[in-house]
A and B are shown apart, each in its own frame.
Chain A
Amino acid sequence: MIEWVGAIVQGTLLGGLYALFAAGLSLIFGVMRLVNIAHGDLIVLAAYLGLSTTLMLGVHPFVALIVVMPLMAAIGYALQRGVLNRTLGPDILPPLLVTFGLSVILQNALLEGFTADPQKLNGGAIETASLAVGGLAVGVLPLLTFAIAVAVIAGLQWVFYATALGRGFRAVSDNQDIAQIMGLNKAHVFGLAMALALAVTAIAGILLGMRTSFDPAIGGGRLIFGFEAVIIGGLGNLWGTLAGGVILGVAQTLGAKIDPGYQVLAGHIAFLVVLAVRPNGLFPRVEH
């Protein structure tokens, strides 16, 4: 019995990581209706940037975030202004094709730069530390990951609903032309949205890299998990995305409890079940 409770707790905490994978995806889709196929590879890129930073500066991966977050944000802004803005329009195919191409390019570049050998970020003692909670040993790193996910989602929520920047995001999302005649340059607003999304991706990449080993090919899987969390939670709702991540994480750990080979499959099944019962996800944004 306690083992099952343990699996649910672990799955919930894992859901925090998935929510971090998903948050950037959700934000970008919400603001500019762009489905970023390269999102998973950008998470992996962040993990490698974290690796390089920790090795070069000899710092803890969390400290590396001071470098990796602004770097990813800058990459996001440049990518959006330089490439992705040109693909946006009434046709939804060009952004899909271009981000798919970007995904291939990123994987190959990482392969060139870092080889296919699995790498890991060294988080030190925190990786193995655990807390005893009512007979359960709860890992400190997963707990911290979950807390960070909650903080990030709360932060994004605050940016979206309580700042001028978020007002601009919502306005451009509602009506690009009218936002533009109110003096918002949508190319810049989209750039800022991608910068914010990739700053979050930096956090996701560092936490991923401390939790498991990574190589240039794992981006696709992270994209799927993020995507599933977004859809389960309902598009356009960040707290829903966290709930989606948790549901996915719990389904995976319960699946793995039955048979380690069932982990990923159980997550996909949970995703399909939610999609069949609630095609708009569990907590879709209420349209006015």
Chain B
Amino acid sequence: MPEVLSLNALDARYGDFQALFGVDMTLAEGEVIAIIGANGAGKTTMLRSISGLLKNKPGQIVYRGRPIGGLRADVVAHLGIALVPEGRQLFPSLSVEENLLLGGKVGRPGPWSLEKVYDLFPILKERRRQASTSLSGGQQQMVAIGRALMANPDLVMFDEISLGLAPVVIKSIYDALPGIVGEGMTAMIVEQDILKALSVSSRVYCLQEGRVSLEARTEDVTHDQITQAYFGVVA
């Protein structure tokens, strides 16, 4: 399988504070990987770096053979990398449909359209004229996912899509994931709910205080390995 993304000794800083230390990672075509790690481990920072919201040295992030670490976020978006951000972050001034349309702004060809997103999440079609902020948390998450899909990305990154949602809502969103990734997308799923993350991925990386503490195939990984990698202690 050709490589879609690789991180090569990726560092990230907020001013003097260093959040990532030499993170190495690879992602092959069509693969779904899970990123787990405690609060503050650096998961969101990693996704922000890949998106171009944090600047890096070009070669630290390579996408389909092209160094993209120094590119602006909108340029990265046009290359086909989409992010469903932590906390949904919908545009409050935009209606549901306008949020989705904005996601389609990059105008990449592909299977996703307003129609397809409405097929995936029919409730959004009913609510399409409403302000995005008037929706429930789960519905807002559907908009955030739909908005990312509208770009027809070939790599999509989900940052804690189950955060703050009721279990039944989480289930319905995860039930929709195979339909999304089945469209040939490569995906990176950041999740606090480890079992959920493992259930949809083929490989898992664990971050601990800005470093990769575990890389394993999902089917091989043991409970003890995860505990060790997650908390840095042997249980």
Contact = CB atoms under 8 A, between A and B. Distances in A.
B74 A184 contact: yes
Given A171-B94, A288-B92, A182 B53 contact: no
A118 B105 CA distance: 48
A181 B105 contact: no
A33 interface: no
A164 B151 contact: no
A288 B135 CA distance: 12
Interface string A141-179: 000000000000000000000001001101101110111
Contact of A180 (B72, B103, B131, B151): B72
Given A167-B98, A177-B73, A181-B52, A288 B105 contact: no
B15 to A, nearest CB: 13
Interface in B60-118: 72-74, 76-78, 82-83, 85, 89, 91-94, 98, 101-103, 105-106
A183 interface: yes
A44 B126 CA distance: 50
The SS class assigned to the A binding surface is: helix
A185 interface: yes
Contacts of A164: 101, 105
A272 B73 CA distance: 44
Given A181-B85, A182-B151, A171 B91 contact: yes
A181 B73 contact: yes
A183 B74 contact: yes
Interface residues of A, number: 20
> Which of B53, B73, B151 has the most chain A CB atoms inside 10 A of its CB?
B73
B85 A171 contact: no
B93 A173 contact: yes
Contacts of B91: 170-171, 174-175, 178-179
B134 interface: yes
Interface residues of B, number: 28
A168 B101 CA distance: 10
A186 B73 CA distance: 10
B49 interface: no
B136 to A, nearest CB: 15
Contact of A181 (B77, B93, B94): B77
B143 to A, nearest CB: 12
A171 B85 CA distance: 15
Given A170-B93, A177-B53, A288-B133, A182 B106 contact: yes
Given A174-B92, A174-B94, A288-B131, A185 B72 contact: yes
Contacts of A184: 74, 102, 105
Nearest to B105: A183
Contact of B105 (A168, A170, A173, A175): A168
Interface of A: 164, 167-168, 170-171, 173-175, 177-186, 287-288
Shortest Cβ-Cβ A-B pairs, 9 listed: A183-B106, A183-B77, A180-B73, A170-B93, A288-B133, A174-B91, A185-B74, A183-B105, A171-B91
Given A170-B98, A171-B102, A181-B83, 9 more contacts: A179-B91, A181-B51, A181-B52, A181-B53, A183-B77, A183-B106, A184-B105, A185-B72, A288-B133
